[in-house]
Amino acid sequence: TQLLEQSPQFLSIQEGENLTVYCNSSSVFSSLQWYRQEPGEGPVLLVTVVTGGEVKKLKRLTFQFGDARKDSSLHITAAQPGDTGLYLCAGAPLAAGNKLTFGGGTRVLVKP
Amino acid sequence: GAGVSQSPSNKVTEKGKDVELRCDPISGHTALYWYRQSLGQGLEFLIYFQGNSAPDKSGLPSDRFSAERTGGSVSTLTIQRTQQEDSAVYLCASSRVAPPLSPLHFGNGTRLTVT
């Protein structure tokens, strides 16, 4: 069982549709990060959420941190083919110091 | 400025041979991580270096795996007596200060294939 569970594992949608990716845990995190990874490259940071209940917007991407700081979600509005990639959440549980753990990832495919 | 550099980008080796993977972090970054990623999967934590502190080796899967970081900069991940299950992409990342608030900057990884 992974510390951070992401769902769904795979999502295929048409351009213009909306999608939501979830990142859940039974542990409490001081913060959670979201990364996007494209084939042949390392993950690139999208956002860090720090405060319980926080909502951050990055253009068409909306990130939310749960009130209890155990879960997070990523919502993409009007998805575009350029949004295709592997989305990863990451965090360090309060009891784990600086050991940054990643979820299993959600592979998103946006078809034109 | 230069990002995180990893070499080689690809490595094919025979089962039983030793391999060394190199990571050059961003200059001045104190934290350095190694992760392993199987095809299309998430990242598996291997080891974490922070400044002059003892590294967190809790993710190393067996005693065939070891890593060092010389002079607080370059890091080498060594896998001895490689096995086919070691085949994966090995990713290195560095951050300016200790995570989790400081973002990780990743290299493009070394794709290791054990035949």
Cβ neighbours for B68, distance < 8 A, ≥ 6 positions apart: B75, B76, B78
**B9 and B23 Cβ atoms separated by less than 8 Å:** no
Quote the domain boundaries for residue B92: 5-114
Q: What is the CATH number for A76?
A: 2.60.40.10
Residue B97 pLDDT: 82
Question: Per-residue pLDDT averaged across A13-25, rounded?
Answer: 97
Residue A3 has pLDDT above 90, yes or no: no
SS3 A28: coil
Q: How many domains does chain B have?
A: 1
Which pLDDT does position A30 carry in this prediction?
87
Contact (CB<8Å) A41/B43? no
Domain total in chain A: 1
Label residue A1 by pLDDT band (50, 70, 90): low
> How confident is the model over B16-73, as pLDDT tens digits?
999 999 999 999 899 999 999 998 788 999 999 998 889 999 999 999 999 999 887 9
List the CATH number of the domain containing B82.
2.60.40.10
The average pLDDT across B65-84 equals 94
CB contacts of B100 in chain A (<8 Å) are 29-31, 33, 48, 90-92, 98, 100
Interface of B with A (CB under 8 A): 4, 31, 33, 35, 40-45, 48, 50, 56, 58-59, 91, 93, 98-101, 103-104, 106-109
Host domain of residue A94: 5-111
Mean pLDDT score, B103-114: 96
Q: Residue for token digits 């575009």?
A: A80
DSSP label at residue A78: S
Cβ–Cβ contact A33 with B under 8 A: yes
φ and ψ of B72, to 5 deg? 70, 15
CA distance A75 to chain B (A): 19
